[in-house]
Each structure stands twice: as structure tokens, then as C-alpha cells.
Amino acid sequence: MRWSAAALFLLCMACSPAPDVPHPVTALQPAAERAVSVGGRARLLLGDSATQAPLQNANFDIQAWLDDLDARGIRAAMVWAFMAVPQTRDGRLVDRRYGYVVPDLTPWARRPEPLPAAADGGPRWDLSTFDEDGYWRRFLHLLQETARRDMTLWITLFDGWAKEVGDIPFHPFRRENGGPLRQGQDFVILETYGTEIQGPFDPDWPWPRRNQWHQERLADRVARELNPFDHVILELFNEGEWYDSRALRRHQEHFLDFLRRRVSTPLAVNADVVAGLNAWEDPRIAVVSWHTRGFDTVAISGRWLDGVARTPIKPLVNSETVPPFPTGYGEKVTEDDVRRLLWATVMSGGHVFVQDDSAFAFDPAAPDPGGAALRDQIGLATRFLDEAGYHGSEFAPAPRLISGGHVLAAPGRVLAYVPDADALHLHLPHGHYQGSWLDPRDGNRVPLQVAIPPAGETVLSPPFSGDWVLELTRAGDNLP
């Protein structure tokens, strides 16, 4: 006997409310739209984010990084298109994750004359000339290598960190570095929102026109590089809360139209920071991106259930998890925190990239902070969900089927993440179930069988303390 989607929905409507269920959703219809469609296939994005490291540092070993992901079974990778390295050529300042002055790259070439110098002590940038042999050669290599491995590649286009804190002196668009901007917040100021600038560049243009021209040339070049490939998702900004919200929305809308005219690549927007832009109803936006807000699994699940229940249905991705950053950057959270966030998000219908600054150690000259455990966790979860047949569309969140856990359900199948519950209350159809507990720390499994009576609930306890993943299959169901 198989459960139909309608039967699953009605079943859950009839379930008695569990006291600790954090969200009013009873069951959602399984929907292909919750998966990311890349290359004509439904995909779960559960990946590693090396942010700016692969493309900004010529010593970063792209091949070794992707081999590492491949060996763990990780099928998705995320990078930022550019961010100037916060360093000075004389070594007085270096990025702590590298520990030395790296051969830095951006999409644009440096000017041939050494003076006047940029803020980092090197020549200023020439934003009218691309760095073909350095940056763009690496960009194409990354596209080719991820395609060869059948990985989904997420690229954030405009996360150049043109802001008023942190590394502002080093942004190529700042006036002191050869660019048009007086201050970082001006990055989202364009001269003609909604209208492209035509014709050759004129250095005497007003700064908003020069700013727009340089950004449009970058976006056009990225589009031309992506067009031969069908495994890429392009995000406009990964952050941006420091910009004027109205100008940021107009900037996003300008480049949504600009890119939509040039690529069929799915476009993503970080809806956390763009006020007034309805990412779910906007047909230009294929994927919605959010950031982590705390590490409490109940709050995570409630927030993501809220997002995946919106219509029209679109994939919802946590594009920045903020992990431990062993080298000293970021919030002091633990690998346990990241693991719990990962599982709670996926089991609530979402997708996750773990921002892994320890990946900077794929520069052989950089220190190794020992962050491979983060990638171990991504790989373990990926392999488990692959074996369970979950690609983001076959199952649907059904939080009332099991109280005490975060639940995905399909006809005859249940997957649940159980963070520290002493007892689970199962509200499943009558029948015999077989499956296993998965220890998400090391991948060990504990088999189990469960008999669900014709009426009432069944109480089940995890084998040991800590967080666990539960997989159950109803005996006799004709599963695919």
C-alpha cells in the first residue's frame, strides 16, 4: 500500500497536535519546485562554501579542493566572484587565514605604472581591462572542473564587500584604488536603473555612470563565461544589509533584468536583505537565499518551514552558515552547532552551504586549521540523503508526524532529525516499519523495527543521548 500525497496530508490533519511542534504546518505536498533544477535534474544543494578563496588567490589549489569534496561525496560548491584580499604588499597586514602576502587576483588587471599606488601598495586597478591570464583563466578552470565532476556550482557575483567596515581600503572600486566610488555604500548607486549603458567607456563620465558601466561589463563577462555550462546558479549578492535598502532593491532589479537577457542560468537573491522585493513572486528569481539566524534547531525549523510553505514554491537555501572559523574570524560556534543547523534545515525542506573558512588551507603555504571535520559532516549527510533517495522534491516537510524531531515524509517513508529528544511520539499510519538510527557524527547505524498500532501513538527513544537521524520505511509499500 502506498500513501498518496492527499492521504498523507489528510493523515496529518487528523493527527493530535504535538505539544512541542514549533510551526502550524501540518504537511506540505511534495513539490519538485523545492529542489534546485540544474542541468534538467532535481538537486539537493548540500555543499561547501570557500567564499572568495578559490578565485582571489593564485596559490589556492582548486583541483585539490574539488578532489577533497569529491572524495567525501559532496555534490555542490559555492564561491564569491571576487573580493580584494585584505593585505598590504609590504606584509604589515595579511589575511590571517593565509598568514602571508598571497598573489592576489580580481577580475580586473592592475595598471602598468606602479604609482600612484593603491591602498595595498600595489598598482591601482584598471577597471576597463580584465585580467585574462590570471583571474579569468581560473574562473573557466573552476567552471570546467565542477562540470566534469557533475557538481552544482553556486557563484555570488557582487559580493565585493564594498562597505564601510572591515576591508574597505582594498576594494578595487574605491577612488583611491582607481575606481569611481567615494564610499563603499555607493556601490549600489547606478545612473540609469533599468537601462543599460551603451557605447565605449568615457573616463569623464559622472561617477554613477562609470560605476554602472564597470558593473555591467563584469556581469556581461560572467554571463558569457557561464553560457556554455548548465550546472551553475548565479546569486547577485550574498550580503548587503549595509547598503541603502531602496538603492539595493533597484540595483538587484536592474541586474536581474540584465542577466535574464543573457543567461538561462538560475538566478538567486538573498531575500534577507532586499526590502520590497518579493523573491517568491518575482519570476526572474529561481532560488531564494537566506542566512543563518542563530543555531537553535526549533527556531531554524520553524523559520524554514515558514519559507518552504510560501507560494509559489521555490527552493530556499541557507547560503551562509557562519561556522567556527578556527583561524579567528566570525562567531565562536562549534562544529556541533553547524551539524545541527545543517540537519534541521534539510529536514525542514531547505538547502545548505557550509561556509568553510578552513578551506583557505587549500593554499599549500597557508596554515591548516584542521577544519576537515566540517566537510566530513557535509559528506556524511549527502551520502545518507542520496541513499534515501532525497533530492529536495520527493519528500515534504511533515512536522506533526513525529513530535520531538524535524521530519520529511514521502509515501511509505519517513526521515527525521532528532536533536536531544528522550522520546519521540510517532503519529504514523498503522503497520510495520523497518529502518535505522543514523549517528550524524560518525555515520554509524543502529537498525530498528517499529509496529504502529491501529489507533493512538507510538513512543520511540533514540539509542543514546545526543542528536540522531531516523529513517523508517513501511513494510509492504511498493517503493520506487
First-last CA distance in the chain: 13
* Bridge partners (DSSP) listed for residue 153: 77, 232
pLDDT of 238 reads 86
CA nearest neighbour of 424 among 475, 381, 463, 476: 463
Letter string b/e over residues 131-170, b meaning 16 or more CB atoms within 10 A of that residue's CB: beebbbebbeebbebbbebebbbbbbbbbbbbbeeebbbb
Rounded CA gap, 294 and 431, in Å?
A: 38
The residues near 261 (Cβ < 8 Å, ≥ 6 apart) are none
User: Positive or negative CA dihedral for 348, 351, 355, 360?
Assistant: positive
Strands (E), 267-379: 267-270, 287-291, 316-320, 351-355
Integer CA distances (angstroms), 131 to 56, 59, 202, 307, 474, in order: 12, 16, 20, 40, 58
Q: Would you kindly state where each structural domain of the chain is located, as residue ranges?
A: 5-26+395-474, 33-387
CA nearest neighbour of 382 among 438, 304, 316: 438
pLDDT of 274 reads 86
The residues near 122 (Cβ < 8 Å, ≥ 6 apart) are 89, 110, 114
CATH code of domain 5-26+395-474: 2.60.40
Rounded CA gap, 190 and 216, in Å?
A: 10
How does pLDDT run across 316-329, given as a tens digit for each residue? 999 988 765 554 45
Q: Could you give the 3-state DSSP secondary structure of residue 289? A: strand
Question: Three cell numbers at 113?
Answer: 605604472
Rounded CA gap, 132 and 110, in Å?
A: 12
Rounded CA gap, 355 and 344, in Å?
A: 17
Architecture of domain 33-387: Alpha-Beta Barrel (3.20)
Phi, psi angles (nearest 5°) of residue 190: -110, 160
Max Cα-Cα span within the chain: 82
Rounded CA gap, 55 and 142, in Å?
A: 9
Q: Could you give the 3-state DSSP secondary structure of residue 286? A: coil
pLDDT of 199 reads 85
CA nearest neighbour of 382 among 422, 346, 412, 426: 346
Cβ atoms 134, 141 nearer than 8 A = no
CA nearest neighbour of 284 among 308, 318, 319, 249: 249
User: Cα torsion at 50, 327, 345, 352 (round to 10°)?
Assistant: 0
Rounded CA gap, 115 and 122, in Å?
A: 8
Cβ atoms 57, 357 nearer than 8 A = no
Question: Three cell numbers at 120?
Answer: 595595498
Helix (H) and strand (E) counts in the chain: 9, 21
Residue 162, by phi and psi: left (phi above 0), alpha (psi -120 to 50) or beta? beta
Cβ atoms 128, 54 nearer than 8 A = no
Question: What is the residue whose three cell numbers read 544543494?
Answer: 45
The residues near 119 (Cβ < 8 Å, ≥ 6 apart) are 88, 169, 170, 174, 176, 177
Cβ atoms 384, 445 nearer than 8 A = no
Residue 434, by phi and psi: left (phi above 0), alpha (psi -120 to 50) or beta? beta
Question: Three cell numbers at 215?
Answer: 558593473
Question: What is the residue whose three cell numbers read 564594498?
Answer: 162
pTM, 2 dp: 0.91
Residues with pLDDT less than 50, the chain:
1-26, 327-328, 478-480
